[in-house]
Amino acid sequence: MLMHEAGLAWLHFLFAFVLVGALSAELFILRLPVDNRVARLLLRVDLFYGISSVLLIVAGVSRVIWGAKGWEFYEAQPFFWAKIAAFAVIGLLSIGPTRAFMRWTKSFNADPAFAPPEAEVKHVRRMLMIEVHLIALLLLFASLMARGIGG
């Protein structure tokens, strides 16, 4: 059982780190002037972000269902629900940047001279920074939840 729990935890952490890495990469890439190449790169990195978020959910649900603590532990934890809510808000916020990356790529395909408005690029970067800050809050909730604080 211990190896099973360790494997589930490892997968959960692995996908969480990939998600944070992809988000950090998006922020770094957005410091570059957004041209066709950069827009396509952002879209590819965002695909990693999306896939890792889905796999993170699958790993998390697996830990809740088949992990050592079981559903009974999690359902009584207010910080578990706060963590889930923070993750949902992050997911909702990520829709805007994804749509922008898709729109920019499509616009570059139609017009190679296209340049996204600087205000839009700054807005997307701001949304990504909000996601990063919410991840920090989510990690606080995870730490409190794992120690049974609040339950």
Confidence of residue 3 (pLDDT cuts 50, 70, 90): confident
Q: Are 10 and 50 contacting, i.e. CB atoms less than 8 angstroms apart?
A: no
Q: What is residue 32's DSSP assignment?
A: S
* pLDDT band, very low/low/confident/very high, at 1 (cuts 50, 70, 90): low
Of 54 and 67, the structure prediction assigns the larger pLDDT to 54
**Residues found in the chain:** 151
Please state the φ and ψ torsions of residue 71, each to the nearest 5 degrees. Answer: -60, -40
Arithmetic mean of pLDDT over the chain? 95
8 A C-beta contact, residue 116 and residue 104:
yes
Domain boundaries, the chain: 2-146
Residue 21 and residue 93 in contact, taking contact as beta carbons nearer than 8 Å: no
| pLDDT value, residue 107 | 97
The answer to whether 142 touches 83, Cβ cutoff 8 Å, is: yes
Q: What is the mean pLDDT of residues 128-149?
A: 95
Which 3-state string (H, E, C) describes 119-145? HHHHHHHHHHHHHHHHHHHHHHHHHHH
Rounded to whole angstroms, how far apart are CA atoms 53 and 58?
A: 9
